[in-house]
Structure 1
């Protein structure tokens, strides 16, 4: 056991990056107590590696319908092997921080499943695990801050630093996890690779080196809302050719296409100026000289700092509290330093939320305000977050995946995307990075996209015969549209009820003619199995929402539950999801007194995608 002393392995399962961010913060916390900490995604670990460390910390999000994140599925399969003896992990001492959303029926199931399996294999906890909830008043951030503080105290008491040492103070900056120093020291000044500037401020063209990515071409960008409408919603069509050996993209309802956005040259130049990086921004650097790099860095080699900023660094994201901590080490103005440190303290959590989260302030805007902060260029990858791909539910399905020209080697994949633009208390309107990037793409632009398969499928011939109750608001209609069309490719599909909500029928009723053609009430086939109910909240003095229409149609909905109906709810409102779930469950409970009524609700297929 001597070789295991002061060694902690921190493993994360992350879909959107939150678990990874938390894992990396825990790595820094452990470093301050002189632990040798290793931070890795779950799929990078095997069971033997669990036995090579004194302590293990798991950080895992629940995705989809109680599923493990995609980057933990390989590890999970290893953990489930039947030939593993019950006590094979008896030496493992662990704790787990779970991230979940209580609006989902299977809240924090990934963490619960992981803990249950670890216990079956003999592992023991060294500190109480915790289930965080997006719906907490202080969100995941506040829950983690409190739990991490208690973990720090426990480690300090039970696993004190080596004799004569005190914990590394928060006032002292830790060595970088990833440093560009080796690459900068070997940078080329003779033939710098300079990203050319044009009069048009658009991201650089061309695909990124995304592992296992698919080549795609933007073939269509159709506006789905009137030009006079405040919201620009687009139906984007991407042509995706087959890979070598005829491998086609096989899309199903619930699958996602991942778009990797880029930054704009004007913003990049502003950051370079703020950080005083002009002398090194366009020098060619060789990243292979660095001993280690972030796992999700998809950078061309060789490259420049400017190119990394354009294609890889997410300086337009909302800063985490850990970023303010990093900024404080490089602030030369005492007032700036004091203010930055306040944002990192638990007692000032509300001020952090007001300043950063609620106002949606970006890292670039924060750096523009705290001008005494000059982050060294070699710390670029260590301090700044990376741009992560944005997942969009595929909006078509079944035969619709065929290319319009009939080319069997190309499929047309459609995404229903709301181009995010809104206002907060700040003067400048907010605009999502990916929305701005997609807006800038010309037709025929080439890019490389990722692809994620649905983890809990509700499609296929057998599921198509079950009744479907689909509830969707806004662009949440995308996976529902895909599912409905996929069901129609199978013989004798079961009845389908679509409850769709938005603001105005004249402006926000996506695919209205399509639904009319598919439903009997809309004038379609008299044998149609689709019935559409709408709730346009702003079309009458009293607002009407999806849950109101659900309540009105409760008798019809209740009659489908004993027939093993599938319930699908998709959209951008947790309040809507909660209200719909409460409406369905309460009305079914009140509709009869059969003893198995509660069991029917417990076994209900409730497929939910809320963001």
Structure 2
């Protein structure tokens, strides 16, 4: 129980859920120190709430995009930036901030830094040191978060000590649930008429017909991205794996020098016998075929493809501000034998027409899709937890619902699990802590509580993130745990929308005015009535989606929640989507007058294609250069067939895995020694270029015998053409994966500006290319993820 006079406000802004997880951990820490806590999304908070007598206000916020606040924190940030706010209006506020960011981005932890600076300017005092976590760290955000949160605990106990007779609430004692369900009595339940199947619903039981029956190689070892290991020639049977997992779950550490299991030492000659020898890195690796998620072509005759599972029903949730859409196409665009399944997903989207005008889409805009759980997974969870008696009963919340969870009227528990809660997410520490309270096996309880301790951060990572173990799998392993149905929303995370860049534009939107009533856009409670629009404009949007499919150290195929949903998404399925306006690159008639230098890798071509389509609608558009990087010319050179038909466009491809003829390799090597495509400092000095940093250097010196050529190499080789457009105040657009690629490309652009004679040195190039950003100068626009 909280003690009187002890209050803490925990606010979070989260795009993917990571910041929310950490905010919930901070909230529970404070509760255990006998504070009354309020946990809120930043956008649900008014500035006056900060002045409500809290001992501390703790902000946990991530940075998304290029230094932007998460979507659920932007309204709060906008209110905080109002020019009319008095300088000392937040003088009574004592705060601390914890930021989650990615150091591969130029504006690392920008949101947390901007927030802290603004709070200080408005008179608030920083009561406890800030923390800034880096997702690129070997140990992830926990490398900073765990020490920071332990120091916060020490600070709170020292600054707000507990009475001598009162102790903090121990970890073994459960805290009260914030969100609870109740069963709606029979006389108050909503009874729905049997609905006609929605268009395309007949295909749900069998999935889509977009290449599911092709025999394909789904995945080859890709350690950098997926930690894919499948080590032994004869993997364990399912029974052997279950038995082994149960044994591992029983193994506990005791005080003393030698860890023991049921009294028996579990460490011999320095080898931890709890570890599965066959899951060690770099031991007994198999042939590449063992990494395939589906049978190889040579085994097609003897191994028929498995039919897709029954598809989730097309229930449309009342998500605020969402609009209606329908699946118009779902086509695999990579060959069947390519390791990655990339889909061209086409959606017909209804836009409201107000006063004869629509909110016209722009290049860089995104669509948010909301995935669903498959019925077989939901039924498995219901069976594991013994919820069969209440699974199809109508439910309602006792009080508030979690942020981002929207139930339709008369929803059942099964619908909640199918459409709202992510039962296949990687479990957080908070989930494991709560689960420990419902295990009846003492060994399992101890194991769960051990995993959440800071001292066992590596064990927590090895159990959860490294094998990508899901909540459903954890519940199956800890079978003594039975979670009451009423605390389900307090235990399970909410399904979050997945954001995808629109990949087409201009006339390729196929805009049509339908002249029919537009379905109302649902407003959140208390925000006003639903808005009726007199007409609808129908747009056809393309999304280029790389499905996440891989294997991990526990040798089980993995698929992302949204990837699995999209993989079998039938044509004709109705959807509710969120349309998000971005900060677009220069476009329109004025923007098209500037030349374009576009750089994209993989599915990063999507927003670039949208921009090229839009530029093509302007007859006076200037020329464009496209540097596109992918693995293979005949596998993932996306949209290559239309580039030859695009006016004023020159494409420079980089195929990183295609073999290069010996003579061509020699020619490139000689050229690269002149343009700085070499990590050798002396070679770069001879070319008039400074040494590269470690990140950019790691992406140079390709092995031409294996064809390892990347977009940055091609940029340097074409420095003269790049500078030709830079002299005309070009727009530079970079899209693709975050990490080393953006840094390497920026370094290549600096080198090209020097080698092509546009700048005297890289210092001048840095200023002109990336720091000017004026209306008359070069514009640099980046969208990486």
TM-score by length of 1: 0.91
SS, match of residue 211 in structure 1: coil
Are 2:615 and 1:505 equivalent residues in the alignment?
no
User: 1:554 and 1:342, CA in 2 relative to 1: closer, same or farther beyond 3 A?
Assistant: farther
User: 1:463 and 1:350, CA in 2 relative to 1: closer, same or farther beyond 3 A?
Assistant: farther
User: 1:299 and 1:158, CA in 2 relative to 1: closer, same or farther beyond 3 A?
Assistant: same
2-structure distance, mates of 1:159, 1:468: 58
User: 1:352 and 1:568, CA in 2 relative to 1: closer, same or farther beyond 3 A?
Assistant: farther
Residue 108 of structure 1: aligned partner: 109
Residue 27 of structure 1: aligned partner: 27
Are 2:158 and 1:157 equivalent residues in the alignment?
yes
SS, match of residue 488 in structure 2: helix
Query: Post-superposition shift, 1:457?
Result: 4.5
SS, match of residue 203 in structure 1: coil
- More divergent stretch after superposition (226-235 vs 424-433): 226-235
Query: Post-superposition shift, 1:589?
Result: 5.9
Are 2:313 and 1:204 equivalent residues in the alignment?
yes
Q: What is the aligned counterpart of 2:656 among 514, 537, 544?
A: 537
**C-alpha contact (below 8 Å) 2:63/2:69 kept by paired residues:** yes
**C-alpha contact (below 8 Å) 2:715/2:752 kept by paired residues:** no
Q: What is the aligned counterpart of 1:238 among 347, 358, 367?
A: 347
Are 2:732 and 1:567 equivalent residues in the alignment?
yes
Are 2:731 and 1:603 equivalent residues in the alignment?
no
1-structure distance, mates of 2:108, 2:426: 26
2-structure distance, mates of 1:447, 1:464: 34
Query: Post-superposition shift, 1:186?
Result: 4.3
Residue 337 of structure 1: aligned partner: 445
Deviations 1:50-97 (A, max 9, x none): 111232111111222212222222222221222111111111111111
**C-alpha contact (below 8 Å) 1:195/1:307 kept by paired residues:** no
2-structure distance, mates of 1:187, 1:567: 62
Are 2:510 and 1:402 equivalent residues in the alignment?
yes
Deviations 1:294-335 (A, max 9, x none): 121022222221111111110111112222222222222222
Query: Post-superposition shift, 1:13?
Result: 1.8
| Residues 406-425 of structure 1: pairs in structure 2 closer than 5 A | 409-425=537-553
User: 1:588 and 1:268, CA in 2 relative to 1: closer, same or farther beyond 3 A?
Assistant: same
Q: What is the aligned counterpart of 2:714 among 542, 545, 549?
A: 549
User: 1:44 and 1:562, CA in 2 relative to 1: closer, same or farther beyond 3 A?
Assistant: farther
- More divergent stretch after superposition (410-419 vs 343-352): 343-352
Q: What is the aligned counterpart of 2:458 among 337, 343, 350?
A: 350
- More divergent stretch after superposition (561-570 vs 546-555): 561-570
**C-alpha contact (below 8 Å) 1:188/1:285 kept by paired residues:** no
Query: Post-superposition shift, 1:458?
Result: 4.0
2-structure distance, mates of 1:26, 1:11: 10
**C-alpha contact (below 8 Å) 2:7/2:56 kept by paired residues:** yes
2-structure distance, mates of 1:195, 1:365: 34
2-structure distance, mates of 1:333, 1:49: 43
**C-alpha contact (below 8 Å) 1:321/1:344 kept by paired residues:** yes
2-structure distance, mates of 1:240, 1:589: 46
**C-alpha contact (below 8 Å) 1:195/1:306 kept by paired residues:** no
Residue 143 of structure 2: aligned partner: 142
Are 2:439 and 1:438 equivalent residues in the alignment?
no
Residue 97 of structure 2: aligned partner: 96
Residue 170 of structure 1: aligned partner: 171
Residue 420 of structure 2: aligned partner: 312
| Residues 475-494 of structure 1: pairs in structure 2 closer than 5 A | 475-494=603-622
Residue 288 of structure 2: aligned partner: none
Q: Which runs of 5+ in 1 are unaligned?
A: 519-524
Residue 43 of structure 1: aligned partner: 43
Residue 467 of structure 2: aligned partner: 359
Residue 118 of structure 1: aligned partner: 119
1-structure distance, mates of 2:508, 2:657: 32
1-structure distance, mates of 2:716, 2:4: 59
Are 2:581 and 1:453 equivalent residues in the alignment?
yes
SS, match of residue 183 in structure 2: helix
User: 1:461 and 1:609, CA in 2 relative to 1: closer, same or farther beyond 3 A?
Assistant: same
Residue 578 of structure 1: aligned partner: 743
2-structure distance, mates of 1:157, 1:564: 58
2-structure distance, mates of 1:428, 1:189: 44
Residue 435 of structure 2: aligned partner: 327
Deviations 1:206-236 (A, max 9, x none): 3221111110011122321223333222211
SS, match of residue 484 in structure 1: helix
- More divergent stretch after superposition (155-164 vs 552-561): 552-561
Which has more radius of gyration?
Answer: 2
Residue 183 of structure 2: aligned partner: 184
1-structure distance, mates of 2:731, 2:331: 31
**C-alpha contact (below 8 Å) 1:188/1:284 kept by paired residues:** no
SS, match of residue 517 in structure 1: coil
**C-alpha contact (below 8 Å) 1:261/1:437 kept by paired residues:** yes
Residue 272 of structure 1: aligned partner: 382
| Residues 57-68 of structure 1: pairs in structure 2 closer than 5 A | 57-68=58-69
2-structure distance, mates of 1:342, 1:278: 31
SS, match of residue 132 in structure 2: strand
Query: Post-superposition shift, 1:258?
Result: 0.6
**C-alpha contact (below 8 Å) 2:330/2:569 kept by paired residues:** no
2-structure distance, mates of 1:440, 1:205: 13
User: 1:39 and 1:410, CA in 2 relative to 1: closer, same or farther beyond 3 A?
Assistant: same
Query: Post-superposition shift, 1:141?
Result: 3.2
**C-alpha contact (below 8 Å) 2:10/2:59 kept by paired residues:** yes
User: 1:140 and 1:464, CA in 2 relative to 1: closer, same or farther beyond 3 A?
Assistant: farther
Q: Which runs of 5+ in 2 are unaligned?
A: 196-203, 207-308, 516-535, 660-705, 774-778
Q: What is the aligned counterpart of 1:593 among 745, 756, 760?
A: 760
Query: Post-superposition shift, 1:412?
Result: 0.8
What is the alpha-carbon root mean square deviation over aligned residues? Answer: 2.7
**C-alpha contact (below 8 Å) 1:403/1:410 kept by paired residues:** yes
Query: Post-superposition shift, 1:389?
Result: 0.7
Query: Post-superposition shift, 1:410?
Result: 0.9
User: 1:187 and 1:466, CA in 2 relative to 1: closer, same or farther beyond 3 A?
Assistant: farther
**C-alpha contact (below 8 Å) 1:104/1:608 kept by paired residues:** no
- More divergent stretch after superposition (372-381 vs 568-577): 568-577
Q: What is the aligned counterpart of 2:497 among 385, 389, 392?
A: 389
SS, match of residue 506 in structure 1: coil
**C-alpha contact (below 8 Å) 2:105/2:738 kept by paired residues:** no
2-structure distance, mates of 1:326, 1:49: 29
Residue 367 of structure 2: aligned partner: 257
Query: Post-superposition shift, 1:116?
Result: 1.6
**C-alpha contact (below 8 Å) 1:240/1:249 kept by paired residues:** no
2-structure distance, mates of 1:206, 1:184: 21
Q: Aligned pairs, how many?
A: 596
**C-alpha contact (below 8 Å) 1:468/1:566 kept by paired residues:** yes
**C-alpha contact (below 8 Å) 1:193/1:283 kept by paired residues:** no
User: 1:140 and 1:363, CA in 2 relative to 1: closer, same or farther beyond 3 A?
Assistant: same
